Amino acid sequence: MKYQIINEKKIDNIPWQDRTSQSMNSPLWRYSENPIIARNPAKNIARVFNSAAIYYKGEFISALRGEETNNVPYIYIGHSSDGINWKIEDERVKFVDEEGKLFMPKYAYDPRLVEVEGIYYIIWCQDFYGAAIGIAKTEDFKTFTRVENPFLPFNRNAVLFPRKIDGMFTMLSRPSDSGHTPFGDIFISQSKDMEFWGRHRHVMGKTDAWWEGLKIGAGAAPIETSEGWLLFYHGVTNTCNGYVYSIGGAILDIDNPSIVKYRSEKFILTPEELYETTGFVPNVAFPCATLCDAATGRIALYYGAADTNLALAFTTVDEVIDFIKDNSKVGDAETEIGRR
Ligand code: BMA
């Protein structure tokens, strides 16, 4: 391997399929049996998409965006032995406060699931007098205790780094409005205790490239590699038929991830398959999590498709980093250091 994945668990049974020819213009290739979760996957759940998965004690666990049969989203936990076939728990996650009392958000969507020092954090979007970030922690996937909201409204797409940087929890987020936000850049913030957040810095913004000319937002938790933090994010364009969400890739400086080292000016995956182009919201590919195997350099990426399905794509650390470096353009949208 040319590049190394650092600090990731070895996952012998990471979901995997060898590259197929479909992906001429992309360093990612889709799982041939996509979607892995299609419509009506469980009682009371109409659609599962934009969801995160993690390796936990020999199995895979997911935090799923389960859109119920009244279109209100909540988080559901899924279990899987292969990362592909999921058994969804019957009940939505019952979040509690520090005293153990039920403390449910009005709704919860686009969960990310990240382990930092043995604690598993779910980070999602919720109502806090408008769209805002919610966080809860668990050690056993049975009790989920709410943590203070990190930011004021409005904000979405918060993604925690999988380790502390400079001794601090580090999180990307995307300040927004409370609707179908027509703008948005990725920012970074740090916290000593997961309660008080500061040192806010700009990381990167929309660009002149049309596929991400409207807004961007962090996707999966960054992967630590020998080249820097590998970030899969979403980029959005506006068309006469509405927004189109593609997947982009960037590499952030390992010690100071507000610095963008490389950023692909081309999308790395865009909606093409029927399950991505057709559904509740057509033309959406929305990444929320990866699984990585450091030993082989394999990466499996989970992404929501058309706000209807959950899909899987694969790449290797070498292929995706080479693609990002070969197509990299770092310009004004990433060099606003010093502007606070
Ligand atoms: C965004 C979020 C995502 C969704 C996307 C496309 O604003 O709400 O959950 O996938 O729009 O509808």
pLDDT in tens, 37-59: 999 999 999 999 999 999 999 99
Quick one: pLDDT band at residue 22, thresholds 50, 70, 90? low
Residue 33 DSSP code: T
- CB distance 63 to 109 below 8 Å: no
Q: Whose CA is nearest to atom 1 of ligand 1?
A: 180
Q: Whose CA is nearest to atom 10 of ligand 1?
A: 307
- State if residue 264 touches ligand 1 by the CB under 6 angstroms criterion: no
- State if residue 286 touches ligand 1 by the CB under 6 angstroms criterion: yes
- Taken in order 185, 202, 151, 217, is the CA torsion positive or negative? positive
Query: Residue 81 has what pLDDT?
Result: 98
- At residue 210, φ and ψ (nearest 5 deg) are -65, -30
Quick one: pLDDT band at residue 21, thresholds 50, 70, 90? low
Probe target for ligand 1 pocket from 181, 233, 243, 247, with the most ligand atoms within 8 Å of CB: 243
Which two three-digit tokens encode residue 333? 């949208």
Residues shown for the chain: 340
- Taken in order 4, 260, 248, 82, is the CA torsion positive or negative? positive
- State if residue 50 touches ligand 1 by the CB under 6 angstroms criterion: yes
Residue 297 DSSP code: T
- State if residue 51 touches ligand 1 by the CB under 6 angstroms criterion: no
Closest Cα to residue 48, out of 12, 7, 76, 16? 76
Quick one: pLDDT band at residue 337, thresholds 50, 70, 90? low
Closest Cα to residue 122, out of 151, 160, 91? 160
- Residue written as token pair 């057709």: 278
Whole-model pTM: value is: 0.97
- CB distance 285 to 275 below 8 Å: no
Mean per-residue pLDDT for 306-335? 94
